[in-house]
Amino acid sequence: MKRKLLVISCTTACIVCGYYFYSFDKQEKATLQSIPTPNTSLTSRNEMTEHQQTLETSVSSETAQQTKLVQLTSAHAQCQKRYQNFSEQVADIHNVIIAAIELELQQGKTDRELLAYRSQYKTFYDSYQDLLIEAKSNNERKKYVITQSSSILKDWSGLSVIEGFNTDTIAALVTALKPLENENHGLGMTISLAQDINKADIYALLDNTDHFTTYLESPLYIADSAVLSPSILFILIAEKLNIEEYKQAVALHSFTVNEVAIAIQNNMATEYLTPLLEQTKSLADFPLFAQNQLHNSKNLADIAAANFNVEALTLLGQYGVKPINEPGILTAMDIAILNLPRRDTEYNKFNLDTNKFLDTLNYLIFQGFKAHGSISLDETGIDFNPPSKGFFHSEMISNAKLKSLLNRIPLIDNSFNIKQQEADDSVISLAIAKAKSKQMAMTQKSEQCTSVKQQLLAEQSFKGRDKAYDIIKEIEQDPTDVKQRLHDIDPVLVGLWQEHKLNFRPAPLNSDSSDTFERLIADGKIAQARDYSAHTPLTLSQTDILFRFMLRRNIDLLSVWKARVSPLAPTDLMYFKNLPIEKWQGLLDQGFDFLLVDQLGRDVFMAAALHSPQALQFLVDNNFKLNVDKHGLDALDTLLEASYKNGQLHENLPKLLSLYPKFRVSHYARVARIKKFLPKEYQQLIAMNKALTPIARTELNKFRSRYF
pLDDT tens sequence across 134-185: 999 999 999 999 999 999 999 999 999 999 999 999 999 999 899 888 876 6
What backbone phi and psi angles, to 5 degrees, belong to 644?
-65, -45
Is the model's pLDDT at 25 over the cut of 50? no
Mean of pLDDT values over 496-525:
74
Query: Which string of b and e fits 666-690 if b means at least 16 CB within 10 Å?
Result: bbbbbbbbbbebbeebbeebbeeee
Residue 450's SS3 state is helix
**pTM of this structure:** 0.68
Question: How many Å apart are CA 490 and CA 700, to the nearest integer?
Answer: 10
Q: Each residue of 301-322: pLDDT tens digit?
A: 999 999 999 999 999 999 999 9
Handedness of CA 75, 76, 77, 78 (dihedral sign): positive
Q: Each residue of 64-87: pLDDT tens digit?
A: 667 888 888 888 888 887 777 888
Q: Each residue of 187-227: pLDDT tens digit?
A: 778 889 998 899 999 999 999 988 999 999 999 999 889 89
What interhelical angle do 679-688 and 665-677 show, nearest 10?
140
Question: How many Å apart are CA 538 and CA 565, to the nearest integer?
Answer: 8
Question: How many Å apart are CA 28 and CA 261, to the nearest integer?
Answer: 79
Chain CA centroid to CA 533, Å: 28
pLDDT at position 506, please?
Answer: 61
Amino acid letter, 657: L
pLDDT at position 61, please?
Answer: 58
Q: Each residue of 342-372: pLDDT tens digit?
A: 877 677 777 666 689 999 999 999 999 999 9
pLDDT at position 542, please?
Answer: 92
CB 511 within 8 A of CB 539: yes
**Range of 24-28, 120-124, 347-351, 378-382 with top mean pLDDT:** 120-124
Chain CA centroid to CA 505, Å: 20
Is the model's pLDDT at 481 over the cut of 90? yes
Nearest residue to 405 (alpha-carbon basis) of 394, 392, 391, 413 = 394
Q: Which residue has the higher pLDDT, 471 or 388?
A: 471
CB 698 within 8 A of CB 665: no
| CA-to-CA dists, residue 293 to 122, 127, 133, angstroms | 19, 11, 11
Question: How many Å apart are CA 554 and CA 575, to the nearest integer?
Answer: 15
Average pLDDT, the chain: 87
CB 558 within 8 A of CB 551: no
Q: Which residue has the higher pLDDT, 177 or 5?
A: 177
pLDDT at position 56, please?
Answer: 52
